[in-house]
Structure 1
Amino acid sequence: MEDSIKEKRINKWITVTSVAIPLVVALLFAYKIPNSEPLTFLPPIYATINGITAILLVVAVIAIKNGRRALHEKLMTTCIFLSALFLVMYVAYHMTSETTLYGGEGNIKYVYYFILMTHIVLSISVIPLVLITYSKVYLDDFESHRLWAKYTFPIWLYVAVTGVIVYIMISPYY
């Protein structure tokens, strides 16, 4: 009974967090800090954070497949921290800088916008997926954790990798 109550509390927290983060980001994204110095140094840093996250996600999967649970846990916690750090930097950049428009032409423009749109949509959906998957460990429900991880991992990896690709594609237009 107590586990059920704990899980319900966690699920409420996950729901609130999964809705609040995209809403707050959207609100902050629309707000520009008046007379602020543009933080133009941030995009390569947060793109690098995405790249490191992608690498660590793969290493974490290898670690758990090799029975290195403690390493897996540390790597996954690091990935969550890096994703949060990315989000703070991303919002800070957009609150101080004008939006950069993609300048590519022809078919590459459609490729860029496809990657960007899927990246954005999946970055929103990965929030509850990561929180649910992580919560299953906290609840000692490792079977559910493994089931959720089968969906969460490829989506999170896609978001991390496409974050780097989007940066590379738009960087000439900063």
Structure 2
Amino acid sequence: MLKTMKKPLSKLEQEAKLLECESLYYQVPKPEFIPNRLYHFIRENNPKLIEEAIKTIKKEGLKNAKNPRNTTSFIDKKVQRPLGIYFWGQEIKEEAHIEVDINKLNLKQLYAFPHFIADTILDIDQNYQVPDEFWHKIKKIAVAIPFTEYLGQFQAEYIYTANIPTKLLEIK
């Protein structure tokens, strides 16, 4: 397997990426970005593991992630967002998932985080060399905002910082 060399991201390109990320917080709000329902996906390829996860969730509800895995863990090191249960605002049809009506949650424990920033971090890490200083600047910019202050400025991933009991969940 060939390992490709990452190319350096120039100072100008770094500043452009930082500006693009920061500007997300100041975009004109789009009410259609504010969801009524949230979707949590069971990311497993093995049907047996999916079945086990669903069984556990039916019994215990969704638990706040104390130790996120893989990609989530990597992104969390580069940004300022709380640990919690991660949700999308749109359904992805082909995935096993859990839905929750947003109005049944304590909105003071719900946060919105720009999905674009998470994608940008993954792209930069995979394709470019950047100094630690760049990651420090990203971390200052990349902040989850309380859902009560979210106006639809950006397409978001959502983080709920408390456990969610089974009675509030719909497993699909």
Q: Aligning the two structures, in what range does the TM-score lie when normalised by the shorter sequence?
A: 0.3 to 0.5
Higher RCO structure, 1 or 2 (CA under 8 Å, sep 6+):
2
User: What TM-score comes out, normalization by structure 2 length?
Assistant: 0.36
Between Structure 1 and Structure 2, the one with more helix by share is 1
